[in-house]
Amino acid sequence: MKKIINITTAKHHLLQLVNDLEEEIIITRDGEPVAVLAPPRPAAAAGRPVLIVLGARKCSPTASEQSIAAINRAAPLFSKLIVVYSRETEELPARFRHPDLQAVATAKPEQPIVTSLKAGLTGCGPADEFFMFTFLSKPLPVQVFATLAAAIAAARRAGKGIIVPRRHGRPTHPLLFAGRYKANIMKTRKELGIPHIIRRHADDIFYQDITAAMAAAD
């Protein structure tokens, strides 16, 4: 598991970080990676998206267990797994299983969702072609993750950079964005959020039906 910390924290606790170093630590400044305290792992596998799990807010134990179990089963679909947590959910990252697992702390779990997503995006780099974000509080079956990961090829052929799932014709979650949207999201004001980006880039959306995938899990 990797940890992501900001440069101010790194400067204040550098000796302790070095002494306790077991996994790669990514240091960020202004939301962008600027240094590492260990050699980087191999580049992300081409064609697989990054999964960002938004888990900074406490949710019911049942929802949490269901989400974690499904995500761990779906882990091979993703190039890396980024878990956003807070002081209230600091035990969360250790419960996930992925060869490239990153843990990102946020001190503002009460802020709008885009704030946590920005924290998670600090773990995405230039090689990450698509990223998906999902909510710990809203469990999804493995079939949904598989359907949306497979939709990337079709979205790429259509020249689209946003994948929006539909259930019974209605837009739902989880959303996928091409890596080029990282900078856009990082600059988005918290009061506008993801809906603002969706509205501004409606012509870049690829819709993927997940009705069957949801039904298969019932």
Residue type for position 132: M
CATH of the domain at 161: 3.90.550.10
CB 85 within 8 A of CB 120: no
CB 210 within 8 A of CB 169: no
Between CA 218 and CA 216 the distance in angstroms is 6
In a domain, 143, yes or no: yes
Average pLDDT over the chain, rounded to whole? 90
Range of the domain at 52: 41-217
In a domain, 5, yes or no: no
CB 110 within 8 A of CB 19: no
Q: Helix or strand or coil: residue 212?
A: helix
Q: What is the pLDDT of residues 120-155, one digit of tens each?
A: 999 998 889 999 999 999 999 999 999 999 999 999
Percent of the chain exceeding pLDDT 90 equals 70
In a domain, 156, yes or no: yes
Between CA 133 and CA 139 the distance in angstroms is 12
Domain count, the chain: 1
In a domain, 118, yes or no: yes
In a domain, 163, yes or no: yes
217 pLDDT above the threshold of 70: no
In a domain, 10, yes or no: no
In a domain, 33, yes or no: no
In a domain, 8, yes or no: no
